[in-house]
Every structure is written in structure tokens, then in C-alpha cells.
Amino acid sequence: MMVAFFGSFTHLPVNAEPSNYKFDFGNGEVEKGYVGVSATEKYDEKKRYGFNTPEDMINVPASGSGVASDAVQFLEYGTKSDNTFNVDLPNGLYEVKVTLGDAFRVSVAAEEVYQVINMTGNNATDSFQIPITDGQLNLLITEGKVGTNFTLSALEINKLSRHPETKRTIYIGGDSTVANYYPLDSSIQAGWGQLFPQFVDPETFEVRNMASGGQIARGFKDDGQLEAILKYIKPGDYFILQLGINDTNPKNTTTEAQFKEYMREMVQQVKAKGATVVLSTPQGRASDFNADGVHTSVNRWYRHSIIALAQEENVPLIDLNVLSSAYFSSIGPEATLALYMNGDTLHPNRAGATELARLVAEELKRQGLDGFTGDKEKNTNKTF
């Protein structure tokens, strides 16, 4: 059990160190098999875990059951904050699973960059893989929406490899039509990035969806999402980037020329890391049918600049705008509308996001990029 391991952790030989760590946060009853951690518990070298600045933490109740019945709240936050929960870990590759307390919208940061973007809802769970190279995980719950509570109920850490190297990874950037929604396996609304792992060979790739609702090119570039990708992306990885919908909104004051240059800067930074960049145009609205029953939206969302940029930077292009229109035309207006949220012609539901993800994967496979199965029934990969 975890308590026994941590109690004598410093006296164990290296090969006896645990490969699984489970923490139950808050001041309530501790779930069996977990280490209980109160907000007041400061990091201790002998215990090898604890909060760096417990004065900036408080215990709070939570509405879930078991480990999710209580939580801790982070009063100080931000990806660069030192108000972290620290765990000493031998260098290697780990999978980290977080369970929130009561929370509206939060993100998870570790090693001073975002790891999960905009988890929503009480007791939401998500996982990510992270290489540890300095002997310690430093994690905190931070902004999804400023002014809400940032809480953590439970943390589970599993060692995957003693080598601190991620497997090949597909990173995805985008907006609300691409982003994750919670619970990940049953949400009504979904982005195509959330369903994309169904079409990816899990033996080849992990999928890391860094898209978020309302995002624009300037925000993705400057507000931490690109920074997280650049920290980890490497040769053999892919970065699929789809933006433009929100950039065209007048409130964001982004001209098409500015949008193109923000996108170019991101493309060039990722290319400099040796990874493959793929640009994608956004799909249109469900209502974009003409009088002849043909779906077309080729003039939406700065599409022409995305196509031009892909040609100028010599990177693969997925013209999802045209691919989705062809599919929508084939099934007709009524069936197309059924792939979107009720009363919403822009945001896909789970079925719609699945079809968009399929189109993206099929096009990548057609262009000769490896790692795509095209068979969601045989794929159990998940998104991180």
C-alpha cells in the first residue's frame, strides 16, 4: 500500500521504489489505498511529497464520492507559480491522472507549462504523460476561468518507463470545435480533437489535445498553449493546427494579414523543433447549404490564408472545410443538422465530432502520414 512505501521511501533500494502513487486530497476520510494529503501539509524531504507553499492552500468539501468527496483549493496559481504539489520521482516517463473537486473550468499545469486545458465540471478527470528529468513532479491546478475555484481531489501517478522520453505524439491546437469536453467518454458536445484518438494507432502515437474554446491564433501563440507544445515536441511528432473561426470575429480585432503571420510564426517555431506541422481549415456551419442542396463555406474563417500559408511554408494541409462540405452534401441538410448541438449550427455534438475526426484522419492517411488506422472500432486509444 502507498503509505507503507512512502513511510520508508528513502531507505528503499532504487529497484524497490514504487511505480504507482495515489493521493487523496482534503481533510476528510482517506480512501483505501491512497495517501491522505491535507492543504496544510508542507513538502518534506523524508516523506518526499507535499505542498511547496501550504499557506496558499485550503481544504474544501466536494460533491463527489470516495476520493472526490473532499479536495484542496489553490489560492495562488499560474503556470509559473511556486504554489505546487511536489512529489519526488525517479527520472522516467509517467502517466498522471487528476480528479478535480468542485470546479467550473480549470487547467492543469506541471513543470511550469500547461498539461491539460480547460477541464470542466465537478469531479472531472483527465490524464497526461510527462517525462520527469529533475527528480520531482511540480503540479498545480490553475486558470481555466479566472474568478472560479481551482480544486484537486485526487492524483494518481504511474511510472511507464525509466526513460524520460515521450513516445511519438500528435499535438492538436484549435478552438471550441476541436477542444475536449467532459466527461471525455460521454460528453454530449465534443470537438474533433477529442474523438481523434479513435482513428490513431495507439502503438504509434499518443494524442495531446491543447485546443480550447474561444481561442484565436494570437492567444494560442502567446498565452501558454504553444509554449507547452514547444517544451515537449520532437522529431517524429505531428502538430495539427486549426484556427480562424474566432479570429474573424470583430471583437478580436485580428485582421486576416495578422492572423496569417501569427499562424506562420507558430508553424516556423514547431518546424524548428523537427516536428511535422499540419494546417487544417475549419468546417463551416450546418446551415451552409445553397438552394441546390450543396453545402459550401469556402469563404469562411480566413480559409484562403490558411491554404496560402500551407503552400508558402511547405506543410501538409487538411482542407476540412471542403472535405466536410462534401460529406454534408452527401447526407443532406437534415442529417447534417443532427451532427450539431441543438439550436447551434457551429458546434458539433459527439457524433459530428466523430465524423470530422474521421475526415481528418482519412485525409492524413491519404497524404501518406503514418499512424492512422481508419477503424475506430478497433482503437481504444484516449486523448490526453
What integer is the mean pLDDT of 220-240? 98
Tell me the per-residue pLDDT of 120-140, one tens digit each, with 9 for 90 and over.
Answer: 999 999 999 999 999 999 999
Tell me the per-residue pLDDT of 186-217, one tens digit each, with 9 for 90 and over.
Answer: 999 999 999 999 999 999 999 999 999 999 99
Q: How confident is the model at residue 2 (pLDDT cuts 50, 70, 90)?
A: very low
Cross-strand partners of 24: 36, 154
Tell me the per-residue pLDDT of 45-65, one tens digit each, with 9 for 90 and over.
Answer: 999 999 999 999 999 999 999
What integer is the mean pLDDT of 354-379? 86
Name residue, grid cell 502517466: 95
- The C-alpha atoms of residue 302 and residue 289 are separated, in whole angstroms, by 19
Percent of the chain whose pLDDT exceeds 70: 93
What integer is the mean pLDDT of 225-232? 98
- 176 is known as an active-site residue: yes
- 102 is known as an active-site residue: no
Q: Count CA within 13 A, CB hemisphere, residue 100.
A: 26
What sections of the chain are H helices per DSSP?
2-7, 192-195, 217-222, 225-232, 256-271, 303-313, 320-331, 333-337, 350-366
**CATH architecture label of 2-161:** Sandwich (2.60)
What integer is the mean pLDDT of 71-91? 97
- For residue 164, the model assigns a pLDDT of 97
In the numeric block, which cell numbers belong to residue 66? 470516495
What integer is the mean pLDDT of 221-246? 98
Among the ranges given (8-17, 235-244, 347-356), the one the predictor scored with the smallest mean pLDDT: 8-17
**To the nearest whole number, what is the mean pLDDT of the chain?**
93
pLDDT greater than 80 at residue 381: no
Instruction: Report the DSSP pairing between strands 35-37 and 20-25.
Output: parallel
Backbone angles phi, psi at 371, to 5 degrees: 100, 5
- For residue 375, the model assigns a pLDDT of 58
Tell me what percent of the chain is helix, strand and coil, each rounded to the nearest 5: 30, 25, 45
Tell me the per-residue pLDDT of 18-42, one tens digit each, with 9 for 90 and over.
Answer: 789 999 999 999 999 999 999 999 9
- For residue 3, the model assigns a pLDDT of 35
- For residue 377, the model assigns a pLDDT of 46
- For residue 145, the model assigns a pLDDT of 81
Tell me the per-residue pLDDT of 88-98, one tens digit each, with 9 for 90 and over.
Answer: 999 999 999 99
Instruction: Report the DSSP pairing between strands 85-88 and 136-143.
Output: antiparallel
Q: Would you give the distance in Å from CA 184 to the centre of its chain? A: 11
Q: In the 8-state DSSP scheme, what is residue 114?
A: E
Backbone angles phi, psi at 4, to 5 degrees: -65, -40
In order of 57, 58, 273, 346, the CA distances from 317 in angstroms are 46, 48, 19, 22
pLDDT greater than 80 at residue 73: yes
- For residue 12, the model assigns a pLDDT of 36
Task: State the sign of the Cα–Cα–Cα–Cα dihedral 347, 348, 353, 357.
Answer: negative
pLDDT greater than 90 at residue 169: yes
- 344 is known as an active-site residue: yes
Under 8 Å between Cβ of 234 and 273: yes
Residue that wins the pLDDT comparison between 155 and 9: 155
Q: How confident is the model at residue 376 (pLDDT cuts 50, 70, 90)?
A: low
pLDDT greater than 60 at residue 8: no
- The C-alpha atoms of residue 282 and residue 152 are separated, in whole angstroms, by 34
Instruction: Report the DSSP pairing between strands 151-152 and 136-143.
Output: unpaired
- For residue 16, the model assigns a pLDDT of 52
Q: Which residues contact 254 (CB under 8 A, 6 or more apart)?
A: 216, 217, 218, 247, 248, 262
pLDDT greater than 50 at residue 261: yes
Catalytic residue among 295, 324, 325, 347: 347
Q: How confident is the model at residue 378 (pLDDT cuts 50, 70, 90)?
A: very low
Q: In the 8-state DSSP scheme, what is residue 376?
A: G
Superfamily of domain 169-378: SGNH hydrolase (3.40.50.1110)
Under 8 Å between Cβ of 106 and 148: yes
Catalytic residue among 82, 222, 344, 370: 344
Q: Count CA within 13 A, CB hemisphere, residue 69.
A: 9
Q: How confident is the model at residue 118 (pLDDT cuts 50, 70, 90)?
A: very high
Q: In the 8-state DSSP scheme, what is residue 10?
A: G
* Domain limits, CATH 3.40.50.1110, in the chain: 169-378
Catalytic residue among 107, 153, 176, 325: 176
Neighbours of 42 (CB within 10 A): 13
pLDDT greater than 60 at residue 379: no
What DSSP letter does each residue of 276-317 carry, written as one string? EEEEEPPP--TT-B-TTS-B--TTSTTHHHHHHHHHHHT--E
